[in-house]
Chain A
């Protein structure tokens, strides 16, 4: 922070002042970006986005885009300069709406004009023009800017008359204008007083004494790319604005020497009478004279080489060189230029357009306007000129069209996604039914767990869109490999390639083994296909035809490295044991050529899938329950077959399907990226039937046209495995936290020894500070949360966890990192953790009076207070979701009410300290669904959540539940009506007039659809704020008093 400020201080010279000021964060960012230069591309992209928005906009407020674009430019280019293109932008914007009278008194448009004027050398011209045209005459800002301009020039009489004029016209907001007027008058009178006191003839103004920027050094740009002026300030520079009247302006530049030149000031000399703005009859605004690099008539002998030599297209011929050596200050180096061999004389020849003919867009507009008035155009451009040139940069036809194409493509994609989601939902519902059925059954059998895994897997496979299901295909490939025990090391994403090849070797092994059992015809045909898929393995058929297949195989394998070479022997051992089962599945499949075309025969598929997803050792038990499973999987298969019926051959397990896939249906580019997946897929398919699912997955993904790289695939390949586990479980968290270095976070302490016993009223001193444990408020089997107080009487919350995983501490510190200063609003601003061998104690600072539940128990809440709490809750959850954290356990019991003293500045009353069920989706990015989350189980059972719901939805439901309890003091009952979830009963809210608001609230939060949770949350916030907006502060006050008296 301190560094950033220092940096800002150093860059002061390079920051253009803005009327409304700058957001310090934006400024930091902009300055950083400048230094790094890495985000150049990002800025360009942003710019491009604005440019295309300017052109593609078809709403009814085109000024809005311009306004946002210009404000963004100002914030992003604090130093202004040519790079920002601001003057061009302002000019275009101002011109663009010059004919639209409806904008004339729009404050945004007026502000654009004012900015434009301020960027020019003679703003007064512009103000008079605006006044003449009637732009901004009803806006106080216009008069203020105008008058300030006069004031700056020391013409206080006119400045005053401008204010009066504004007040007379009734410019809005009136009080603002008056306030400015008053302070102006105060300044003037102070000035007069000062002058009288000092004597009018006073030579030296006080300002002149002050240290100044080194005089007569102009702010030359340094560096080739960035317009950055050097910092050679010798003292605090004096802003003219801050000094009010600027009569001393000339004096500031002359360092106290008496060689002063009298400057004729026409404003003073003229002593004008009461100013009356003349109605201007100009056709166009005055020509902007503030353009950079403009040729100003001057003496040629003094002329310097133009700065704009960067592109070599500045075409000023240097005048004959003066015959003396000009003194060059050491610090004054000419800007670096790309080496350029062109003789400048030649350069003039090369650029054909005469430099003297300065094309001014304003002049052009003037011409255009005149032409319009005269009603004659001689030429007509037969293209959409206004679109190409409407922004600050030009577009070509192709770029415009590309924008249109992108827009269309995005739209189509969206439609596709919604369609897919619909199908998915249907599928999911059916699967859930099956799952329920299965759950019931699983209570009866021991093998239930396994079956469920299977369901989950096929579920994930069917429901997840393209890439992940494709990835799933490869997971299965790996599993075959794993199972056969080729290598003890885990198959890990970075080694996919190797894994795939080893999976292939497995395949070949299996093939050779099958040989004995299978008819030769089938096998050879299979191999024929296999070869067509993997042309690099031509040796394989040879190996197969030999009676003793193993030896040649080993020979082939050898070059692939030690790990693989040792693999086969292990594999043989492993596979021999289960050969019958393996064969069974495969032979069965070959008899029934099309698996799912005959739904009765899908048990083969199911069995094969089981084979792939469960360890071989589980074979016997699998057999025992295969009846039930196959019944279920059968349904699954038919379901998927139905939904995917638009894909031909989807469920076909025969290798000829691969051949079909190889036929040029896909684009080559997709083919290339899918090749790896295909290999693994094909190998899996020939080894066991689950290849069908692989291929289907691939086909599905190809339908989605999502080309994915290997890494993406393999990364996601883990989904299948991790999803089996509760993402909040100890193991998962341990793995996750292993990835990060907790000890680098301050206030993390590791302690030897076991977790001390913690009881109420104990005094603990694990660190250098002791604290006393007060009442506990959350108790669970593995953790307890107490209030506490430190020696220095700071209030804390102590969480004693019997798992040695500092999750809460991690989340807390993470929240602070990610949210920055916003985090104290709802979260603890300080935390500490002591990690013991068998547990941990986390402290988080904050003064709370108890849980929301306690409060509810004691007395009912008025509706508006409840609403307020809900708004806060929404905001809090939104903040968490914005840093990809899911709380997972929102209930009145886990929400804390802040103590009054705990928050002097009324910011919030809610707080949250317990993160036991929290998910960090940045770290646990493989958690894509709510399936195993403990907080979701109840909802899953009800069907409100489905196995593929986003984890964020848990929190939405948590909010809904909490809100319902706040209102009704009982948990909510949900019913499904018209495919939307609704509250079962009627809300008995205190005031009837908000009935529909709550109704809307619950409908939205229970049925978020495909919207991201952050959007849902902010929409809900808006909804609530709209209806319960009567002064939040008062309400907060009230709620504090209310909670106080409890």
Chain B
């Protein structure tokens, strides 16, 4: 990075230019956000060099003051350690469930910007999910799967895996909870009893999973992708290989249940379809993202988080570069990019109605156990302009 003293005069100069050209932003005042949005509406895209320059400047400024935009705020009483997952309540955008490496799962009242409740695991929690608006499920390094009644504040240990639990998801169609673990298995759990409803061996450690209707998409180590039919777990419906070259970080299914998006550790995202027919498969594609160019070297960041907008079927990706992008998978366009967050984006979650995006900016030790900006959760109100595909 270039030194600050060198940058400063240029900064002011830029600002003047900005107002004239309506092109970039530095501080997120209301007017600027408005400007930005209109810029995005107009231009949709900034060239990568412009963006990089912008980003570096913003980062310097933003870590100290900012995030003052009217459409975004930081949650109070955040977890004490890194955030592993954020999930919105299935019924309302008011409640947000957050699991963290500080061994807790917290429930936030987003509207009131306060923590409503928290409960403890024995070890860091790697994922959590809502079963219904009043029941949270979570699992982590303690290998235990827990369900917590948010009304009575009581929890039950449902069962265990043989290794840490990496993912927890709920499948409303089949009414079953799904967990994936590094013990190379996926287990199903009946949320009513609650009890184990089957263990299914995977070829490798499970890194991510997602539910599309009654289909379960499991991403494992070794770049494998397995598609299971939750109604008939007797065999694997599809065994695939990730179309990306590097380790799978995240898989999320389209709300329309037709496909999924897969992100890799080296700045790429693939859009894939479940229907194995040739015509449909032809539509799949992959693209580069979350890369920054510095001194002629392209820095490639892991893409850690994906979240779908339930209405528009667009999705947001978050990378270790601290950026959040929203993509239109149908027109293969980026809809917008938010400002750079203090550190890596560890998790993203759209609320059920698609009005709010929760952004967990939290260092994941991807470059070792070093000092890093504070972990935080940002709640951002998103507009249709940011999330709706542009009809051409």
Expressed in whole angstroms, the Cα–Cα distance for A667 and B155 within the complex equals 10
Q: Which residue of A is nearest B184, CB measured? A: A44
B318 within 8 A of A: no
B54 within 8 A of A: no
Q: Which chain B positions have C-beta within 8 A of A340? A: 235-236, 239
B364-A401 in contact (CB<8A):
yes
Q: Which chain A positions have C-beta within 8 A of B341? A: none
B65 smallest CB distance to A (angstroms): 26
Expressed in whole angstroms, the Cα–Cα distance for A728 and B162 within the complex equals 40
Name A381's contact: one of B153, B243, B300 (CB within 8 Å). Answer: B300
Expressed in whole angstroms, the Cα–Cα distance for A398 and B100 within the complex equals 12
B368 within 8 A of A: yes
Expressed in whole angstroms, the Cα–Cα distance for A377 and B82 within the complex equals 32
A669-B146 in contact (CB<8A):
yes
Q: Which chain A positions have C-beta within 8 A of B266? A: 381
Expressed in whole angstroms, the Cα–Cα distance for A207 and B376 within the complex equals 75
A743 within 8 A of B: no
Q: Which chain A positions have C-beta within 8 A of B241? A: 313, 350-353
Most buried by A among B239, B298, B364: B239
Expressed in whole angstroms, the Cα–Cα distance for A343 and B239 within the complex equals 11
Q: Which residue of A is nearest B272, CB measured? A: A352
Name B207's contact: one of A342, A384, A396, A405 (CB within 8 Å). Answer: A396
B203 within 8 A of A: yes
Expressed in whole angstroms, the Cα–Cα distance for A404 and B363 within the complex equals 15
Expressed in whole angstroms, the Cα–Cα distance for A378 and B296 within the complex equals 7
Name A311's contact: one of B141, B203, B221, B237 (CB within 8 Å). Answer: B203
B239-A352 in contact (CB<8A):
no
B120-A668 in contact (CB<8A):
yes
B300-A382 in contact (CB<8A):
yes
B238-A350 in contact (CB<8A):
yes
A521 within 8 A of B: no
B121-A669 in contact (CB<8A):
yes
B300-A351 in contact (CB<8A):
no
Most buried by B among A338, A340, A379, A402: A402
A339-B141 in contact (CB<8A):
no
Expressed in whole angstroms, the Cα–Cα distance for A349 and B283 within the complex equals 11
B321 within 8 A of A: yes
A346 within 8 A of B: yes
A312 within 8 A of B: yes
A380-B121 in contact (CB<8A):
no
A107 within 8 A of B: no
Per-residue contact bits, chain B 116-132, to A (CB 8 Å; 1 contact, 0 not): 00011111101000000
Q: Which chain B positions have C-beta within 8 A of A396? A: 205, 207, 221, 247, 249
Indicate whether A350 sits within 8 Å of B281 (C-beta atoms), given known contacts A339-B234, A394-B247.
Answer: yes
B124-A338 in contact (CB<8A):
no
A394-B222 in contact (CB<8A):
yes
Per-residue contact bits, chain A 633-677, to B (CB 8 Å; 1 contact, 0 not): 000000000000000000000000000000010011100100000
B2 within 8 A of A: no
Expressed in whole angstroms, the Cα–Cα distance for A401 and B122 within the complex equals 16
Q: Which chain B positions have C-beta within 8 A of A409? A: 123
A401-B154 in contact (CB<8A):
no
B367 within 8 A of A: yes
Q: Which residue of A is nearest B182, CB measured? A: A399
A397-B365 in contact (CB<8A):
yes
A341 within 8 A of B: yes
Q: Which chain B positions have C-beta within 8 A of A378? A: 297-298
Per-residue contact bits, chain A 536-561, to B (CB 8 Å; 1 contact, 0 not): 00000000000000000000000000
A322 smallest CB distance to B (angstroms): 26
B110 within 8 A of A: no
Indicate whether A339 sits within 8 Å of B235 (C-beta atoms), given known contacts A349-B278, A382-B321, A394-B221.
Answer: yes
Indicate whether A352 sits within 8 Å of B243 (C-beta atoms), given known contacts A378-B297, A379-B297, A382-B302.
Answer: yes
Indicate whether A380 sits within 8 Å of B154 (C-beta atoms), given known contacts A313-B224, A349-B278.
Answer: no
Expressed in whole angstroms, the Cα–Cα distance for A353 and B320 within the complex equals 25
Most buried by A among B222, B278, B320, B365: B365
B367-A405 in contact (CB<8A):
no
Name B276's contact: one of A342, A382, A400, A406 (CB within 8 Å). Answer: A342
Expressed in whole angstroms, the Cα–Cα distance for A381 and B302 within the complex equals 8
Name B239's contact: one of A41, A342, A394, A668 (CB within 8 Å). Answer: A342
Expressed in whole angstroms, the Cα–Cα distance for A672 and B301 within the complex equals 42
Indicate whether A379 sits within 8 Å of B300 (C-beta atoms), given known contacts A396-B207, A672-B157.
Answer: yes
Per-residue contact bits, chain A 458-474, to B (CB 8 Å; 1 contact, 0 not): 00000000000000000
B240 within 8 A of A: yes
Interface size class of A (residues with CB under 8 A): 35 or more
Q: Which chain B positions have C-beta within 8 A of A264? A: none
B106 smallest CB distance to A (angstroms): 13
Q: Which of A370-386 contact B (CB under 8 A)?
A: 377-384
Q: Which of B64-119 contact A (CB under 8 A)?
A: 82, 84, 101, 119
B120 smallest CB distance to A (angstroms): 3
Q: Which residue of B is nearest A393, CB measured? A: B221
Most buried by B among A352, A384, A672: A352
A656 smallest CB distance to B (angstroms): 22
Indicate whether A341 sits within 8 Å of B276 (C-beta atoms), given known contacts A352-B241, A352-B284, A353-B245.
Answer: no
B251 smallest CB distance to A (angstroms): 13
A312-B239 in contact (CB<8A):
yes
Q: Which chain B positions have C-beta within 8 A of A406? A: 141
A707 within 8 A of B: yes
Indicate whether A400 sits within 8 Å of B365 (C-beta atoms), given known contacts A340-B239, A394-B222.
Answer: yes
B243-A398 in contact (CB<8A):
no
B297-A397 in contact (CB<8A):
no
Q: Which of A486-504 contact B (CB under 8 A)?
A: none
Expressed in whole angstroms, the Cα–Cα distance for A379 and B162 within the complex equals 38
Expressed in whole angstroms, the Cα–Cα distance for A380 and B297 within the complex equals 7
B13 within 8 A of A: no
A401-B265 in contact (CB<8A):
no
Q: Which chain A positions have C-beta within 8 A of B6? A: none
Indicate whether A401 sits within 8 Å of B365 (C-beta atoms), given known contacts A313-B240, A394-B247, A668-B155.
Answer: yes
Expressed in whole angstroms, the Cα–Cα distance for A379 and B265 within the complex equals 13
B80 smallest CB distance to A (angstroms): 14
A388 within 8 A of B: yes
Q: Which chain B positions have C-beta within 8 A of A41? A: 162
Expressed in whole angstroms, the Cα–Cα distance for A41 and B368 within the complex equals 29
Expressed in whole angstroms, the Cα–Cα distance for A349 and B240 within the complex equals 9
Indicate whether A379 sits within 8 Å of B235 (C-beta atoms), given known contacts A313-B240, A405-B124.
Answer: no
Per-residue contact bits, chain B 349-367, to A (CB 8 Å; 1 contact, 0 not): 0000000000000001111
Name A404's contact: one of B146, B166, B366, B369 (CB within 8 Å). Answer: B369
Q: Which chain A positions have C-beta within 8 A of B222? A: 393-394
Indicate whether A669 sits within 8 Å of B365 (C-beta atoms), given known contacts A41-B162, A378-B297, A383-B301.
Answer: no
Q: Which chain A positions have C-beta within 8 A of B156? A: 672
B276-A349 in contact (CB<8A):
yes
Q: Which residue of B is nearest A377, CB measured? A: B297
B361 smallest CB distance to A (angstroms): 15
Expressed in whole angstroms, the Cα–Cα distance for A359 and B276 within the complex equals 25
Expressed in whole angstroms, the Cα–Cα distance for A668 and B136 within the complex equals 14
B342 within 8 A of A: no
The 7 lowest CB-CB distance pairs between A and B, nearest first, are: A352-B243, A667-B120, A383-B366, A312-B239, A351-B241, A346-B276, A349-B281
Sample of 11 further A-B pairs with CB below 8 A, known A313-B239, A352-B240, A397-B364 = A349-B278, A380-B300, A396-B205, A396-B247, A402-B124, A406-B141, A409-B123, A668-B119, A669-B122, A669-B146, A705-B122
**21 interchain pairs (CB within 8 A)?**
A41-B162, A340-B239, A341-B235, A343-B276, A346-B276, A346-B278, A350-B240, A350-B281, A352-B284, A381-B266, A382-B300, A398-B126, A399-B205, A402-B164, A404-B365, A668-B153, A669-B120, A669-B122, A669-B157, A672-B155, A672-B157
The chain B residues found within 8 Å of chain A, CB to CB, are 82, 84, 101, 119-124, 126, 141, 144, 146, 148, 153-157, 162, 164, 166, 182, 203, 205, 207, 221-222, 224, 234-243, 245, 247, 249, 265-266, 270, 272, 276-278, 281, 284, 286, 297-302, 320-321, 364-369
